[in-house]
Amino acid sequence: MSEPLCPQKTPIKLDLEAGQYYWCSCGKSAKQPFCDGAHKGSDFSPLAFKLEEKKTVWLCGCKRTAKPPFCDGAHKAL
């Protein structure tokens, strides 16, 4: 699979605590937007990102963002 799956065509708004997170880049995870290991055997790997403080974020749900893991509006072109 060279293109990621598109689990949803809207961003995912989350209130996250400070810490390390792993965003699913393949679109196969059952725990969207986070990785559950479903990418194994593919060319994809999760994207690690860290928040220094509690924050509201908009994570990409379509997996087409140019600014992973954050939404950049790419879903509007799908």
User: 23-60: per-residue pLDDT in tens?
Assistant: 999 999 999 999 999 999 999 999 999 999 999 999 99
Q: Is residue 52 part of a domain?
A: yes
Q: Is residue 31 part of a domain?
A: yes
Q: Is residue 33 part of a domain?
A: yes
Whether the per-residue pLDDT at 12 is higher than 90: the answer is: yes
pLDDT of residue 1: 57
User: Which DSSP category does 43 fall into?
Assistant: S
Map residue 4 onto helix, strand or coil. Answer: coil
pLDDT of residue 56: 98
CATH code of the domain covering residue 29: 3.40.5
pLDDT of residue 2: 84
Where residue 5 falls among pLDDT bands split at 50, 70, 90?
Answer: very high
What is the domain range of residue 42? 12-67
